Amino acid sequence: MPHTSLNPTTAQLIQTHASWNDSRLKQALEKTCHAQQAWAQTTFSQRTEVLRNVAIQLHAQRDHYASLITQEMGKPLREARAEVEKCAGVCDYYAQHGEEFMRAETLASDAGKSYVTHYPLGVVLAIMPWNFPFWQVFRAAAPTLMAGNALLLKHAPNVPQCGLAIETLFRDSGLMEGVFTNLMIEVEQVAEAIASPHVHAVTLTGSEAAGRKVAALAGQHLKKCVLELGGSDPFIVLHDADLELAADMAVASRFLNCGQSCIAAKRFIVVPQIADDFLQRFKTRVEALKVGDPLDDATQIGPMARLDLRDTLHRQVTDSIAQGAVALTGCKPVEREGFFYQPSILDHVTADTCAYHEELFGPVAIVIRAANEQDALRIANETRFGLGSSIWSKDTVRAEQLAAHIEAGCTFINGMVKSDPRLPFGGVKSSGYGRELSRLGMLEFMNAKTVWVR
């Protein structure tokens, strides 16, 4: 099957790209493995120069790359610009801190001298999603390349132009030929890539189902693996929350990128004292969101990325309503060309509805009414996912105490969950394992080697 760019705003075909055969894949794997061995011998200053060149080009060509993102997956142009700028930021971050992160660490032992050094593992296969088609790649690529590893990109099949553009960008910025390679392969060929002796580790951002398959393959071949999978992040509003701030951030947290984000707030858990007041504010803001052409800077909600995703979302909504949830606003596709869905709120979601248990990957917020604070905490943890979470309260000391009991990779208090190069990012439970970003993310794909000297 070809890799197809389909404009989700118009449902019109943009371009198709032929998939590679197994022979071409094998050649690419061998070439990248050889290139990595040379890249690992470069100095930190040489790697830093490449990353800084990439950042410069991202700033200079921001609008070009943003337009490409918007045309392939439907993100509003202003959000796409911010995504490109964030990619430049992560390149600058690792250019500045990479050498420091890899510095040898002296440890006390029975030796005259003992220390831990860090060496690259080799070639990392990055299986990346369509929802942040530049950022997801760069947050893996920047630390991986700075560490002296090479990266093979298996991008989502509906954003092939983004994958090709990123490969070209790295090459034009001075990266050695073959150190970053965009693989135009089918899902069925991923197993061959993971099994190859030329691949030494795997990182995947994607669905829970894909994560289970990749983890099984990586385990079979004894390859290090990092997984960032789905999420059903709780957004807990306590009785003493600043409701204006909470409502503003609820909209931003749920409807950024048309709600197509693993770390979007998905379950709005409210206590009785403020439930109706919060929902009134939330509903007013959601109904004011402007849906339209994502190339228009006034647009806040663009189309969903694919028709099948919209169909799945609407099925989850209609099933939940049939099971007792209440459509507070929206909850229908938009009647126009393209893959648009109304910004929506489902109220009175209970454990009897599918929306309570499943991840809704689109512009639908679900509201769960808790009996009290402790019940809110129980509901927050009553999910197989554990990626992000947030608590809204003026009593930050109490909020921190509650945060200690939330089963998630991060908890933001009075702030929107986001990824930041300075902070480790990842999940627990069915949201995956391992960490990206910060020093921890860089060390994931390195050999921590102990040296002991008498």
pLDDT digits (tens, 9 = 90+) for 7-23: 999 999 999 999 999 99
- pLDDT value of position 299: 98
Contact 90, 138 (CB under 8 A): yes
Catalytic residue among 87, 91, 262, 410: 262
Q: Work out the percent of the chain whose per-residue pLDDT is above 90.
A: 99
Band of pLDDT at residue 104, cut at 50, 70 and 90:
very high
Domains for the chain: give ranges and CATH numbers.
Answer: 3-229+429-453 (3.40.605.10), 233-413 (3.40.309.10)
pLDDT in the model for residue 1? 73
Q: Residue 175 has what pLDDT?
A: 98
Strand partners, 4: 16
The answer, yes or no, to whether residue 387 has pLDDT greater than 80, is: yes
Give the model's confidence band at 2: pLDDT under 50 very low, under 70 low, under 90 confident, else very high: confident
What is the 3 state secondary structure string of 323-384? CCCEEEECCCECCCCCCCECCEEEECCCCCCHHHHCCCCCCEEEEEECCCHHHHHHHHHCCC
pLDDT score for 344: 98
Q: Quick one: tokens of 47?
A: 């790697």
Helices (H) and strands (E) in the chain — how many of each? 15, 18
Q: Which of 375, 381, 384, 326 is nearest to 352 (CA)?
A: 326
Helix axes 62-73, 44-60, angle to 10 degrees: 70
Angle at which helix 44-60 crosses helix 160-172, to 10 degrees, equals 130
Strand pairing category for 326-329 and 344-347: antiparallel
Measure the CA–CA gap between 270 and 277, rounded to whole angstroms: 10
Q: Are 313 and 303 in contact (CB under 8 A)?
A: no
What pLDDT score was predicted for residue 319? 98
Q: Quick check: 48 pLDDT over 90?
A: yes
Residue of 167, 228, 358, 359 with catalytic role = 228
Torsion of CA 55, 56, 58, 62, to 10 degrees: 140
User: What does the pLDDT read at residue 98?
Assistant: 98
Q: What is the mean pLDDT of residues 108-137?
A: 98
For the chain, the distance separating the N- and C-terminal CA atoms, rounded to the nearest angstrom, is 59
Whether 87 sits among the annotated catalytic residues: the reply is no
Give Cβ neighbours of residue 435 (< 8 Å, ≥ 6 apart).
226, 409, 424, 425, 426, 441, 444
Q: What is the arithmetic mean of pLDDT over 361-365?
A: 98
Assign 50 a pLDDT band (cuts: 50, 70, 90): very high
CB 194 within 8 A of CB 125: yes
Question: SS3 helix, strand, coil % of the chain, rounded to 5?
Answer: 45, 20, 35
Q: Is 262 a catalytic residue?
A: yes
CA atoms of 248 and 407, how far apart (whole Å): 25
Q: What is the mean pLDDT of residues 66-92?
A: 98
Contact present, 243 and 331 (Cβ < 8 Å): no
Calpha distance 248→289 (Å, rounded): 12
Could you tell me the pTM of the whole model? 0.97
101, 442 contact by CB (below 8 A): yes
Cα(384)–Cα(401) distance, integer angstroms = 22
CA 131 – CA 104 distance, rounded (Å): 37
Nearby residues of 315 by Cβ (< 8 Å), 6 or more positions away:
none
Instruction: Give the mean pLDDT of 61-90.
Output: 98
Label residues 359-389 b or e (16+ Cβ within 10 Å = b): bbbbbbbbbbbbeebeebbebbeebebbbbb
Q: How far is CA 368 from the centre of its chain?
A: 25
Distance CA 134, CA 113 (A): 44
Gyration radius of the chain over CA positions: 23
